[in-house]
Structure 1
Amino acid sequence: MSSLAKPLPALYAVYVLRSTVRSKSIYVGSTPNPPRRLKQHNGEAKGGAVRTSRESLRPWEMIVLVTGFPSSVAALKFEWALNNPHLTLHIPKDDRITVATRRKKNGMPARSPHSLHSIIPNIHLLTSVPSFARWPLNVHFFSKDAHEAWKDRIKTNKTTTRTGLQIFSDFGPSADGSSPTSGIYSLPLDYWPMKEYIEKAHNVVSFERQGKCAHCHEEMEPDQGLYAMCPNDGCEAMGHLDCWSKRALASDDDPEAILPHSCDCPSCGGHIRWGDMIKELSLRTRGAGEVEKLLKKKRRLAAKES
């Protein structure tokens, strides 16, 4: 594997900002660090964006985050589509919620300004289109009205949240940073939430206990292939990546799918999001330093508690 290859990021988010002074002013961006990015938009740190630099609109608050992107490029694609729902090819023309009603000076179609009742339905739409539906995305709501707009979208259109999309809500302080344990400040920016999963896979591989593939039952020789492990608690089922893929695609509702979405573990029977399993595998095979740092951190915490 190339030395330049990196593991899937711990966090990369597309966010929706709203001015706390003028609620109709909305901005969409992407970042690996939401708290730091919010400080930049509010002028508390260098960076930010020209469109959010007006003091008359500050402070801004992050009201929605979409996370789970496999790379910064993936997040940027989603960000562009959300900013340009009237143009993006990711949304079929007949399914568009936002359409251009005027044109720019250069002749290109111009969308109407973002509003809560356009941005939330478009997030719902984009997380369900084929381009993004197979990513292990999560939607986080930090304002009640944004969450209500999401529920209204589902109720009005008699739709459902697509399979595998996880929804979270936290309506604690998020704009001023007064609470470091709520809102966007409670989001982990590293791999810490995966520590138990990472540790069990690390231990199995380190002690060469891969055993037989959970699918084809062939012996898995150490360092002879890509072996993925079930992320469910208490389960150490491991198998060839190709075998996991075949199982996931065999149970897929789309017979033409080429990218796995999810599957059930043949050992514990638990549900597995493909992206979660691949994230651990990429970290194990491409991020040895990150794994070592995470496990050392865990041991230091355990020592303090004892």
Structure 2
Amino acid sequence: MVVEVEGFYGVYMLYCTNPKYKGRIYIGFTVNPERRIQQHNGGKHKGGAWKTSGRGPWDMVLIVHGFPNDIAALRFEWAWQHPHVSRRLTHVPRKTKKQSSFDFHLMVLYHMLRVAPWNRLPLTLRWLRQEYHRELPPLLQPPLHMPLAFGQVRARPIAKKGKGQGEEKTEQQPFPQRCRVCYEMVQSEDDALHCFHPSCSLTTHIICLAKLFLLNQPQQLIPVEGLCPSCGNSVLWGDLIRHKKGCYGDLEEVSNSQAHWVDELHS
């Protein structure tokens, strides 16, 4: 079964199966994993990277997805490629002679998922090829809000909602509305968050709810989860953002942009 994910940004690892280059790996960024592996195996003239061109075939063995935007994913890609240059990964041991490149970069990935800022993002670690799967070491388990998934994934554009698409119309309350946290008026939908539970009528400023979720972690900028101030249900921040963008679905499908409000948390 192929899982479809809307608003897809992913960082993947390739494994070379060519006997001449067997065991080599490549780390890259993509918004479309199915198209990207075809490009790598097609060579430079098909859009593949020069480092993989002529050395295939390659297997795309795992991918980390759920980044809020391409900038966040590209920074993750660079740190994964250069762990001993990244200031966030100075604690990661260097590769040993007995360690394969695959196992080393897998170990680096496990460390990355446990350190800031990545440990607060709604990421999914997905094994695309189960025969390459390695059990996670007990001391390097990712945060509980990051699911471990198996199987292929397909990028899907966020569906545009509009008239004439055969969808049921949902009543939208007119703006401005009152924020459930600060009780000031929310002037536009761009500034608003709503709970995804069907019976909940929550409306709140994005910044207000973020600060509420971070009351016990004032040193952080990005919430992970909290209790909805309206219905009282525990909700993941990543799910609220996905719901706002119109692509809330399975917990595996975590994505969407938070970049427009993160800087405001400094104020």
1:140 aligns with 2:126: yes
Q: Which has the higher contact order (CA 8 A, sep 6+)?
A: 2
- 1:154-173 matches, within 5 Å, as 154-155=137-138, 158-170=139-151
Q: 1:34: how far off?
A: 0.7
Note the residue ranges of structure 2 that are not aligned, 5 or more in a row. 1-5, 162-166, 248-267
Q: 1:260: how far off?
A: 2.3
Q: 1:207: how far off?
A: 3.9
Asked whether the equivalents of residues 232 and 272 of structure 1 are also in contact (C-alpha less than 8 Å), the reply is: no
1:230 aligns with 2:213: no
1:256 aligns with 2:219: yes
Matched residue SS, 2:72: helix
Matched residue SS, 1:42: helix
Q: CA RMSD in A?
A: 3.3
1:73 aligns with 2:71: yes
Rounded Cα–Cα distance in structure 1 between residues aligned with 2:13 and 2:198: 33
Q: Residue 252 of structure 2 aligns with which residue?
A: none
- 1:40-55 matches, within 5 Å, as 40-43=39-42, 46-54=46-54
Q: 1:211: how far off?
A: 5.1
Asked whether the equivalents of residues 40 and 46 of structure 1 are also in contact (C-alpha less than 8 Å), the reply is: yes
Asked whether the equivalents of residues 61 and 127 of structure 2 are also in contact (C-alpha less than 8 Å), the reply is: yes
1:39 aligns with 2:38: yes
Change in Cα spacing, 1:243 to 1:99, as seen in structure 2 (3 Å) is same
Deviations 1:155-210 (A, max 9, x none): 3xx3432132122112xxxxxxxxxxxx23xx242235x9xxxxx9x945x44277
Which has the larger share of strand?
A: 2
Larger mean CA deviation between 275-284 and 41-50 belongs to: 275-284
Rounded Cα–Cα distance in structure 2 between residues aligned with 1:15 and 1:21: 19
Change in Cα spacing, 1:146 to 1:128, as seen in structure 2 (3 Å) is farther
Matched residue SS, 1:90: helix
Q: 1:43: how far off?
A: 0.6
Q: 1:226: how far off?
A: 1.1
Larger mean CA deviation between 228-237 and 115-124 belongs to: 228-237
Asked whether the equivalents of residues 67 and 138 of structure 1 are also in contact (C-alpha less than 8 Å), the reply is: yes
Q: 2:110 aligns with which of 98, 110, 124?
A: 124
Rounded Cα–Cα distance in structure 2 between residues aligned with 1:221 and 1:73: 29
Q: 1:219: how far off?
A: 6.4
Asked whether the equivalents of residues 141 and 169 of structure 1 are also in contact (C-alpha less than 8 Å), the reply is: yes
AA of the residue aligned to 2:47: G
Q: Residue 96 of structure 1 aligns with which residue?
A: 92
Rounded Cα–Cα distance in structure 2 between residues aligned with 1:189 and 1:224: 24
TM superposition score normalised by structure 1:
0.65
Identity level (%) = 28
Which has the larger share of helix?
A: 1
Rounded Cα–Cα distance in structure 1 between residues aligned with 2:40 and 2:7: 22
Asked whether the equivalents of residues 97 and 118 of structure 1 are also in contact (C-alpha less than 8 Å), the reply is: no
Note the residue ranges of structure 1 that are not aligned, 5 or more in a row. 1-8, 102-111, 171-182, 195-199, 285-306
Asked whether the equivalents of residues 64 and 141 of structure 1 are also in contact (C-alpha less than 8 Å), the reply is: yes
